[in-house]
């Protein structure tokens, strides 16, 4: 295993292969991280298993693990080919080590470790949500940096959480869903409306033709904590659908999709505003403890909100979150929709960042189905 301090690596351009197999996308990408400036995606290959899971209305873990096993080799080869890279051009291999479905995580992490070992390269075990959090770097303007601390809304199929990103790799949890993740609720409501999996994009498409005419709940509205709840929204949509004795008309389906999406977006934005207050308090406390701000003349607070994860691809949700952000004096940013959902580039970038900052290897890091991001 090649060993080098983080400092040496931080001064040169790094090329990292990223492998993502935590759910139903088999993905590999090569990312180039220069010492200064924006990272570049050299290739970003994705094999979506959505079709294999579609008949079940959700991801079947056993099918997912087997499909990763079958496709990963080819996807990695394709990533190298498209990037015009050979194995010898790589500086490290990164793979998602958790959280996620354990079968898929084992396939990706063991594959990455074996490859790193064979190539005598460092292996980076990446937290899937850190990958999502990191993907915003691909879309910052040249010369713009992602300042810390900032506020992070992680919205995926398995997680819905608000965090303070205090410094690279250090997060503090401000609030999270107490029941279903928002993506999961999109998927289940889509099923109710007879839409295919994954439900988020399908609901967004259908909702464009509908009117948000049904009234749906906004759990925890006005409460001071930063937690969320979405299962009531799902159940209310179900009750509305079941109230109708006949199958829903096309118009009712469209309106229900629009109402659900609008309620989800508004509820999320309201909860984000509450979490933002906690964020501001957490940062002030952090700064008081360190008493660094005054001495260094640092800005009070990096007033940036980053949304990431599959649900952040939703344009209505982005618009709602942006509105709250601007009203509170924050810049809102989210990766382009295609980089919000699972991909290998975010894992490669998180790996390159770790490599540049901390160096070292994590060959013995075990894949973990559960793994909290916050310290």
Residues that bind ligand KG4 (CB under 6 A): 23, 156-158, 183-184, 186-187, 198-201, 204, 309-311, 313-314, 341-342
Q: Residues 310, 304, 125, CA angle at the centre, nearest 5°?
A: 50
Residue 131 interface partner, choices ligand KG4, Zn ion, none, CB cut-off 5-8 Å depending on type: none
**Residues 60, 58: Cα–Cα separation, whole Å:** 6
Backbone phi and psi for residue 34, each to the nearest 5 degrees, phi listed first: -75, 160
Q: Closer to ligand KG4 at the Cβ: 123 or 230?
A: 230
Q: Length of the chain, please?
A: 375
Q: Closer to ligand KG4 at the Cβ: 58 or 169?
A: 58
Residue 260 interface partner, choices Zn ion, ligand KG4, none, CB cut-off 5-8 Å depending on type: none
Q: Which stretch binds Zn ion (CB under 5 A): 194-202, 243-251, 296-304, 342-350?
A: 342-350
Q: Tell me the two tokens of residue 184.
A: 């999961």
**Residues 119, 113: Cα–Cα separation, whole Å:** 10
Residue 201 interface partner, choices Zn ion, ligand KG4, none, CB cut-off 5-8 Å depending on type: ligand KG4
Q: Is the peptide bond before 108 cis (omega within 30 degrees of 0)?
A: no
Residue 252 interface partner, choices ligand KG4, Zn ion, none, CB cut-off 5-8 Å depending on type: none
Q: Tell me the two tokens of residue 370.
A: 């559960």
Q: Closer to ligand KG4 at the Cβ: 42 or 268?
A: 268
Task: With CA atoms as reference, report the closest residue to 18 among 95, 99, 121.
Answer: 95
Asked whether 302 and 150 are in contact (CB, 8 A), the reply is yes
Q: Closer to ligand KG4 at the Cβ: 121 or 136?
A: 136
Does 156 interact with Zn ion (rule: CB under 5 A)? yes
**Residues 3, 16: Cα–Cα separation, whole Å:** 15
Nearest distance, CB of residue 351 and ligand KG4, angstroms: 17
Residue 356 CB contacts under 8 Å (≥ 6 apart), including other chains: 6, 9, 10, 14, 33, 35
Asked whether 151 and 304 are in contact (CB, 8 A), the reply is yes
Q: Closer to Zn ion at the Cβ: 152 or 283?
A: 152
Residue 186 interface partner, choices Zn ion, ligand KG4, none, CB cut-off 5-8 Å depending on type: ligand KG4
Which of 342, 352, 356, 373 is in the footprint of Zn ion by CB under 5 A?
A: 342
Nearest distance, CB of residue 225 and ligand KG4, angstroms: 24
Task: With CA atoms as reference, report the closest residue to 79 among 34, 111, 125.
Answer: 111
Residue 313 interface partner, choices Zn ion, ligand KG4, none, CB cut-off 5-8 Å depending on type: ligand KG4
Nearest distance, CB of residue 48 and ligand KG4, angstroms: 10
Interface residues with Zn ion (CB under 5 A) are: 156, 342
């Amino acid at each position: 295993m090649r060993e080098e301090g983080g400092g040496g690596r931080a001064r040169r351009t790094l090329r990292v292969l990223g492998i993502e197999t935590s759910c139903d996308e088999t993905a590999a990408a090569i990312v180039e991280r220069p010492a200064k400036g924006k990272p570049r995606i050299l290739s970003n290959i994705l094999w979506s298993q959505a079709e294999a899971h579609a008949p079940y209305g959700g991801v079947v873990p056993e099918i997912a693990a087997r499909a990763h096993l079958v496709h990963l080799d080819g996807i990695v080869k394709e990533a190298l080919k498209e990037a015009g890279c050979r194995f010898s051009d790589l500086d490290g291999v990164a793979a998602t080590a958790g959280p996620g479905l354990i079968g898929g995580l084992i396939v990706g992490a063991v594959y990455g470790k074996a490859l790193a070992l064979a190539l005598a390269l460092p292996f980076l075990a990446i937290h899937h949500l850190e990958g999502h959090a990191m993907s915003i770097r691909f879309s910052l303007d040249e010369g713009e940096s992602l300042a810390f601390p900032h506020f992070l809304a992680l919205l995926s199929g398995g997680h819905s959480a608000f965090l303070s990103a205090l410094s690279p790799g250090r997060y503090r949890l401000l609030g999270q869903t107490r029941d279903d993740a928002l993506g999961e609720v999109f998927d289940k409501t889509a099923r109710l409306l007879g839409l295919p999996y994954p439900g988020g994009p399908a609901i967004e498409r259908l909702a464009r033709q509908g009117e948000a005419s049904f009234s749906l709940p906004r759990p925890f509205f006005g409460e001071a904590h930063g937690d969320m709840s979405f299962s009531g929204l799902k159940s209310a949509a179900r009750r509305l659908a079941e109230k109708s004795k006949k199958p829903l008309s096309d118009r009712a389906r469209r309106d229900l999709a629009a109402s659900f999406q609008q309620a989800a977006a508004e509820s999320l934005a309201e909860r984000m505003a509450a979490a933002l207050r906690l964020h501001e308090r957490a940062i002030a406390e952090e700064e008081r403890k360190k008493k660094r701000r005054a001495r260094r003349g640092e800005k009070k607070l990096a007033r940036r909100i980053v949304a990431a994860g599959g649900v952040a691809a939703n344009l209505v949700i982005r618009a709602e979150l942006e509105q709250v952000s601007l009203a509170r004096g924050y810049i809102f940013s989210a990766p382009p929709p295609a980089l919000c959902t699972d991909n290998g580039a975010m894992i490669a970038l998180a790996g390159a960042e770790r490599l540049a900052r901390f160096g070292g290897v994590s060959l013995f890091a075990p894949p973990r189905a559960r793994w909290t991001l916050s310290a």
